[in-house]
Structure 1
Amino acid sequence: MPTGVHLRDVRQQLFDAAERVLLRAGPAGLTSRAVTDEAGCAKGVLHRHFTDFDDFLAGLVLDRAARLETQARALLDSAGTATVAGNLTSALSTLFGPVPVAIIPLITFRDDLRARLRQARPGGGIAILAQATAAVSAYLADERELGRIAADADVDSLTLALVGGGHLLFADRDPGPPAGETLTRLVTTVLADVVQRRLL
């Protein structure tokens, strides 16, 4: 098997194992030993492919953040269809799924990881939140251009309210994600003024 394919497979196996540990045990339980035990491989396998554990974690976060790009694209593609509130409610439910929500405290838990993420990509210190923020902001800008929210809508403030509020709802998810009506209420409340003034 070609080396590049083999390496990529090992990395994905380790990332998948880390994701399972993170969802089960949280950031404090995510250690190199826990990852390799979950993956069923020797500890040295991880260190053959990554310089240290923070290098591995940075790779994990960036890999999972990249997966959000498909979901972000779906939000952008929805501009001009259905309702603005409905599109955003659906997108926030996806962008703040179990894995992204579990990764955010991991990033805030580890200073070295944040530093590596900032080096890897501009604004990447809190990669998952940055991804969600960029997607929501671009979507709202498109809807403003289409005239579906007020022409003077403050997209930056709306984005902060939606992403920050959405994250708080999903982060406090014991025993599960927020009820659909709770998220819908948040989104419709944040958007109420800019949607109503568009209709005047």
Structure 2
Amino acid sequence: MVALLGSGASMCAVRDGHSVGSTVGFSPLDGLPMGTRTGQIDPGVLLYLLQDKGMSPEELSQMLYYRSGLKGLSGGISHDMRVLEASDAPEAAQAIDYFVFRVRRELGAMAAILGGIDALVFCGGIGENAHRVRRQVASGFEWLGIELDHHRNRISGTVISSERSRCRVFVIKTNEERMIAEHTLSQFRSQARTDSLTEDAA
């Protein structure tokens, strides 16, 4: 199970190196609440805003992409988890609580798809740095074999699960730019080989 938690957030169930379940849908609006994006939302809300509140599609798009998520849930305090954790405002706490609730709900759903999990990976800005969020997400999942070592979790060690935990829990720093570059280079090399074989055959 991979939990990419940051300004953009998603979760993926992985079996034998292949995705078998994801929170991402048609667009990056689906799934988990993010820094400024809604995450999953009842389509009836969108119809209400368009038909009853008279919002234009452009206004609705701006709201869904740029004024929702942690920023909207906190009443505009911030999209940044660090700012919300440092705030005493109840709206900030509400935004964090809802974010954790949704991550926990998806964790349970993905575990059902996999029939249990042997590893949980936290990554992304929140996943890598917000030890309180990781603790809240993992709390109560002992039945799934998840148990954190609280010291390792506080210092954001690479392995943060306890020795007793049946599920290993990791914090892994992401490098999306490098992965994009590596995949792009791989495609170029593959295309170059194909072009070379085509020329030889001709």
Interval containing the TM-score (normalised by the shorter chain): 0.3 to 0.5
**Structure with bigger RCO (C-alpha 8 Å, 6+ apart):** 1
Largest Rg, 1 or 2: 2
Q: By percentage of residues, which structure has more strand?
A: 2
Give the structure-1-normalised TM-score: 0.32
Give the structure-2-normalised TM-score: 0.32
